[in-house]
Amino acid sequence: MIRLSGIEKSFGNKRVLRGISMTVETGRIFAVMGPSGSGKSTLLRCVNFLERPTRGAIEAGGRTIDANTATSRDILFLRNRTAMVFQQFNLFQNLTVTGNVMLGLTDVKKMNRRVAREESLRLLDRVGLSDKADYYPSQLSGGQQQRVGIARALAMKPDVLLLDEPTSALDPELIEDVLRCIINVAADVNSMIIVTHELGFAREAANTIVFIDDGVVIEETEAQAFFRSPSSERAECFLKNSLRRHINPSETPLERAI
Amino acid sequence: MQKELDWAFLWKNIIAISAKIPVTMYLALLATFFGVIIGLLIAIIRIYKIPALRWAASAYVSFIRGTPVLVQLYLVYYGVPWVLLTAAAKLGMAGVTERFNPNNISPVIFALVTFSLNSGGYLSETLRSAIESVDRGQIEAARSIGLRESRILLKIVLPQAALNAIPNLGNSLIGMVKDTSLAFSVMVIDVMGEAKLIGSKTLRYLEIYIAVSIVYWSLCILLELIFGVAEKRMKMTRRELAE
């Protein structure tokens, strides 16, 4: 379980998040949606303190960590209970695929190298990349790199897995692969928060949709209900615009995927 | 009357001077090695904005870049023994300086200290940009799985920064080979020192300076070749990886 209370974040004078609260119970998958610039990614990056929130608190693993008083020890505690999948994959270029997955296990979880290697190979198999174990990231396609990113995050067995627009840097024909992969591993994960623009994917994968605009939560609705009829006008408008964009230019990869 | 150039003399002394190449290379290689260590420390202090040390590091780099190496060499040569002797006297340890007199320290050590400090100042900038060129996204990814900053530096940043820095390190070493010619000012008999000694004995200065320039030039061409090959190899492994 992870609970965000009153998260605020400003960059200079610009208030990007204006007090966001949500509770993600174990077993739940939240999709955070909203227009560009609404603060979705910033919110996700505040959860593991890649951005330090200006105000607010995060509760995880039985501890409440306040943005104003968080020490580097608190931040490590939080990061040990979360893991992140990035838009740009961010694989370690100097390590092999296995090395990428293993690093957290040997270095953070202090696992024996042999055990860590076995665990990594098991996870790579899970994301369908056991044949690429000894490759370097630069030898892989974007979709494959992102699946390594997912395996690397899964290895940490986080309370909550954070996915920051995991398919928006991918070529359209590779998106399906990665979305399938996320849906496949969802069963192994305690809980997830996904920032995504892929409507069909959010609808299939998520239990709850959190719709954010201008740094505030506009609505938090059960996923099926959200796509049937969102309760706020802004969300309805957003859905209409997105659907128009997605349906008109023939079939989009996301509709093929789902 | 104008003297003829003595070619045989010139040739013979290229060989005599070359006998001191090991001294020059020893100075240049060790100074660059210590320079990398000092430069790395300074780069890390400046990148991580470590309070207090940060200002000291800036002042140090500014001083190194703002004064001639020759001046730095004299400062170390005269300054270090003075500091040691004064400190020993103040601490009432005059007895120590009788057995171990700072004035007897080999001039090579003073030269080595100076050139190490000097190259450390310059290399700190090279290393800083090599470190900063490592993709920030990878650092964030390492943080997101709970790695400590020191481990991120060791496991992710430095291995990639080292590859970025190799071409510049080659240039620094070549620069250092030439800078060490100043070591003769504090009585180190390196390539330049040997040339000056022969010159003053035979008074055939022009031949000697032609000889010494040929020695330095050949040495630098050789080093350029070595680093050229190393760089090409590195690029090749990178390309192989990318394919």
Please report whether residue A57 resides in a domain: yes
Cβ separation B151–A107 shorter than 8 A: yes
Count of CB pairs separated by less than 8 Å, A with B? 71
Per-residue pLDDT band for B230 (boundaries 50, 70, 90) equals confident
Q: Is the per-residue pLDDT at B1 higher than 70? A: no
- How sure is the predictor about B231, in pLDDT bands with cuts at 50, 70 and 90? confident
Beta bridge partners of A208: A30, A222
* Cα–Cα nearest to A21, from A216, A209, A193, A191: A216
Kindly state the average pLDDT of the residues B140-145. Answer: 97
Do A171 and A256 share a structural domain?
yes
Mean pLDDT of chain B: 91
Any domain includes A230: yes
| C-alpha triplet B142, A191, A229: angle, nearest 5° | 120
DSSP 3-state assignment of A33?
A: strand
Q: Which among B145, B151, B241 has CB closest to A136? A: B241
The domain boundary, picked from A110, A130, A157, lies at A157
Q: What is the pLDDT of residue B235?
A: 73
Domain C-terminal end among B156, B182, B208: B182
B203-206: long-range pairs with CB below 8 Å, 24+ = B204/B3, B204/B6, B204/B9, B206/B5
Residue % of chain A over a pLDDT of 90: 85
pLDDT exceeds cutoff 60 at B197: yes
* Minimal-distance CA residue of chain B relative to A85: B141
The tens digit of pLDDT for each residue in B10-61 reads: 999 999 999 999 999 999 999 999 999 999 999 999 998 998 899 999 999 9
* Region of residue B144 (left: phi > 0; alpha: psi -120 to 50; beta: else): alpha
Asked if B155 reaches chain A (Cβ–Cβ under 8 Å), the answer is yes
Q: Is the pLDDT confidence value at A254 over 70? A: no
Do residues A156 and A110 lie in contact, with contact meaning Cβ atoms separated by under 8 Å? no
The angle at the Cα of A192, spanning A188 to A198, to the nearest 5 degrees, equals 110
B13 with B65, same domain?
Answer: no
Inter-chain contact B141–A92, Cβ cutoff 8 Å? yes
Interchain pair A76, B146: CB under 8 A? yes
B131 touches chain A (CB under 8 A): no
Nearest alpha carbon to residue A194 among A162, A149, A159, A218:
A162
Tell me what ipTM this predicted complex has.
Answer: 0.91
Q: Is the pLDDT of residue B112 over 60?
A: yes
Indicate if A149 and A164 belong to the same structural domain.
no
Q: CA of B143 to nearest chain A CA: how many angstroms apart?
A: 7
Q: Which residue in A107, A139, A156 is closest to B155 by CB distance? A: A107
A136-160 confidence digits (pLDDT tens): 999 999 999 999 999 999 999 999 9
Q: What is the dihedral of CA B213, B217, B220, B226, to 10 degrees?
A: -150
- What DSSP designation does B155 have? I
Q: Which residues of A touch B160 (CB under 8 A)?
A: 93-94
- List CB contacts (< 8 A) between A107 and chain B: 147, 151, 155
Average pLDDT over residues B57-79: 96
Side-chain-facing half-sphere of B48: CA atoms under 13 Å = 11
Q: Quick check: is A5 in a domain? A: no
Query: Residue B86 has what pLDDT?
Result: 87
In a domain, A3, yes or no: no
Please check the confidence at residue B165 and state whether its pLDDT lies above 70. yes
User: Last residue of a domain, which of B182, B203, B226?
Assistant: B182
**Cβ neighbours of A83 in B, within 8 Å:** 144-145
Q: Where a domain ends, among B165, B182, B199?
A: B182
Tell me how far the alpha carbon of residue B243 is from its chain's centroid. 37
**Residue of A79, A90, A103 with shortest CB distance to B137:** A90
Distance between CA atoms of A12 and A55, rounded to whole angstroms? 14
CA distance A84 to A256: 26
Cα B64 → chain centroid: 12
**Whole-number Å distance between alpha carbons of A146 and A139:** 13
- Asked if residue A76 and residue A180 are part of one domain, the reply reads yes
B80 with B150, same domain: the answer is yes
Amino acid identity at B203: L
pLDDT at A37 exceeding the cut of 50: yes
SS3 A25: coil
Number of domains in chain A: 2
Q: What confidence score (pLDDT) does residue A249 get?
A: 47
3-state SS class at A79: helix
Number of structural domains (chain B) is: 2
Q: What CATH number should be reported for the domain holding residue A206?
A: 3.40.50.300
Is B142 part of the contact surface with chain A (CB cutoff 8 Å)?
yes
Same domain, B16 and B35: no
Whether pLDDT at B240 is above 70: no
B8 at A interface, C-beta within 8 A: no
Mean pLDDT confidence for A94-121: 96
Q: Which residue is closest to A74 within chain B, CA to CA?
A: B146
Q: Looking at residue A246, what is its pLDDT? A: 62
Q: Give pLDDT tens digits for A185-234.
A: 998 899 999 999 889 899 989 999 999 999 999 999 999 999 998 999 99
